[in-house]
Each structure stands twice: as structure tokens, then as C-alpha cells.
Chain A
């Protein structure tokens, strides 16, 4: 199975703090994506990092990728209550269909 794992499974922080989530995957990748899922909603794409990139930023998001360790991390800086959601990493299977294989997700709770 290509399904990855994320840790921690759940994370609770105070508003204003930084949140770091980690993702490990099993196979070679072309890119890795992070998605966010609010409770009862569909997933929303946050950021994509290519296999030849080591770090990428988008607003308050910072993603790192270590292909030698098959791992990635998502850092959310200066968290807000509205960041409360589940966060998933996803790798694709490299086929033309770009099927995504998701990690197990991290449930982030930001306490106001």
C-alpha cells in the first residue's frame, strides 16, 4: 500500500503558536501535496512540493520534503482558531491519472 502515515494523530495548541505536522510515505514520488479538511467538508488543496524541492512557502504555510527519509512536514505559523481542521499529506502514483494516496491525517485544534 502506498498510504502514508502522519504524526501526530492529533495536535492541540493555543492560538498564535506554531503547528508542525509530519508525514511519512513509502514509495518514490513525483510530488507531495498537503490538503486540509474541515469537519464535515471536502478536502481543500493547500500546497504542492515537487520531489526536487526541499522547502516551499505559501503564506503562513511552510512545507519541507526529505526524499531520502521519505518524509515531509507542514508548519503553520501564528495559528488561528480558523486553522482547526484535519490535515492530510498525499502522494500520487506517478500514473497519468495521478491517483492520490493519502496519509492518515493530523487533527489540529487551535484553542482561541
Chain B
């Protein structure tokens, strides 16, 4: 069984569109994250979220918004997509008592 899953795996869209990436974890973890990996393989934290607190990296544009319908899901909504949003987006989760994060397989977003 996949611990952290993301859909879709690939997403190709036009500039200006709004899109969502879904993330689900079946590990019972308390905290979930979104990371962005650019073309140079730099990984940067975008958001962390548990059922009590959303922490936003201040460099993330407000066009990006995480939404958590329940503890097992943290979806990423992106409005008015721009060329620079093209990247691979990774979801991750962590148990409250541990430091190790479990990553999803990634979603490759291409904005044309």
C-alpha cells in the first residue's frame, strides 16, 4: 500500500489556469507538508499543516493555498498559474513524535 500518494503524477496546463494537486497519507500522521523542487533540484518547503496550525513559507505567493478536508489529506490549490510555477511538487507527512518525513512520488507541473 502506498503510504503517501499524490495525484496527478503529471499536470500540463496553460498560464492563467487554476489547478489542484491532491495528497493523501494512510500513515495516520499528524503533520503534512508541501515542497517544491525546481529544475535545479532545489527543494524548498512551501507549507506545513497539522489539524491545528498552518505554517506558510513567506516566500510562497498567495496564489498557492493548501486545503485539508481531513487529517489524511492536504491538497494544493494554485490560482492563476505562471510559467515559473513549473516544477515538481512533493507532499510529505510526519508523525508527531518523529523527525522523519515520508514523501509522495511527486507531481510534475508544467505551465505552458
Contact = CB atoms under 8 A, between A and B. Distances in A.
Given A3-B42, A31-B99, A86-B41, A98 B106 contact: no
Contacts, number: 60
A48 B99 CA distance: 8
Given A3-B42, A98-B31, A105-B41, A42 B48 contact: no
A42 B42 contact: no
B101 A100 contact: yes
A97 B106 contact: no
Chain A interface mostly? strand
Interface string B66-101: 000000000000000000000000101010000111
For the complex of A and B, the 4 pairs showing the least CB-CB separation, nearest first, are A42-B103, A97-B48, A102-B43, A43-B103
Interface string A33-56: 101000011111100100000000
Contact of B104 (A31, A42, A101): A42
Interface in B19-74: 31, 33, 35, 40-45, 48, 50, 53, 55, 57
Contacts of A92: 99
B109 interface: no
